[in-house]
Chains A and B, each alone.
Chain A
Amino acid sequence: MKSTTTTSIALGFFASLILTLLSYGAVVKHWFSGTALVSAILAFAVVELVVQLYFFFDLGDGASRRWKLGAFAFTLGSVLIVIVGSVWIMSHLNYNMMASPDLMNTYIQSQQGF
């Protein structure tokens, strides 16, 4: 927001409050389940991020603002690559490193349990 006013702060506050309560409710009251719930939680968090960026952050005017948003866009790209990339690679790694059922049985028997 160009310059924060009491109105914008109040709006940001209530929007954040509602979004937090919605995601809390979704988990505790089981409004969704499985992948839908995970997506809902992340979606609420992202929306709250945008809301807070818009209402709370004083990004300045003109060129300065554009530079900050540009740096932020680049950082977001890096963040997504780091997080999504790590989770993707590690889950594939776990799967690929898993022994075959035969081998697992042999191992369990030789160890007499895990």
Chain B
Amino acid sequence: MSTDARAETAAFGFWVYLMTDLIMFAVLFATFLVLRTGTFGGPTPADLNLGGALAETFVLLASSVSCSLAMIEVRRKRAERAIAWFGVTFAFGAGFLALELSEFASLLAAGNGPGQSAFLSAFFTLVGTHGLHITIGLLWIAVSIVMLKVRGLTEHVVSILQRLDLFWHFLDLVWIFIFAVVYLLGHAM
């Protein structure tokens, strides 16, 4: 197989993985939608911090933009600039994670952990799984920056970065729906 065909196959294979990940999130969304009313006298979706979630949405959107900008530099073969933009992406992503962890911490401190009600179980599972994906993505970005520094823009590295780009945008897309279904819907109903 030519390296081009190999890169295309790798990209498609990764896309198929993203589709399976999407189905997993769909199941978590379905579970959340079914269990969101099971609040057992504890906090309801309306008690969640909508402003904080809005901030998280903007931060993740910004990181998605910087990731795309990094890929433009990759295509223009400007490794140094690509590294800079990936660094920005990492910063925004870490900011998002920090905001999310602080929300979890305040819920846990108030005694509202995942074991307290069906709603909280579903909430922590859905949002927590997304957060876990973000954490892995951050690790991937960090490793990619090192790879770029050490090996430069080889075909292999570019192929990896393309998949990272897809992964990161995918996480932003899932968050859009978490924001809508968990936070917005929570304050609407």
Q: Which residues of A are interface residues toward B (Cβ below 8 A)?
A: 3-6, 9, 12-13, 16-17, 20, 23-24, 27-28, 37-38, 41-42, 44-45, 48-49, 52-53, 56-58, 60, 64, 67-68, 71-72, 74-75, 78-79, 82-83, 85-87, 90
Query: Of B19, B54, B165, B177, which is within 8 A of A45 by CB?
Result: B177
Query: Are A28 and B50 in contact, CB atoms less than 8 angstroms apart?
Result: yes
Cα distance, A13 to B60, chains bound together (Å): 11
Q: Report whether A41 and B15 are in contact in the complex, using a CB–CB cutoff of 8 Å.
A: no
Chain A residues within an 8 Å CB radius of B172: 52, 56
**B8/A20 in contact, CB under 8 A:** no
Q: Which residues of B contact A (CB under 8 A)?
A: 8, 11-12, 15-16, 19, 22-23, 26-27, 29-31, 33-34, 50, 54, 57-58, 61, 64-65, 68-69, 71-72, 75, 162, 165-166, 169, 172-173, 176-177, 179-181, 184-185, 187-189
By the criterion CB–CB under 8 Å, are A72 and B19 in contact?
A: yes
CB nearest to A48 among chain B residues: B176
| Total A-B Cβ pairs within 8 A | 110
For the complex, give the distance between the alpha carbons of A59 and B75 in Å. 15
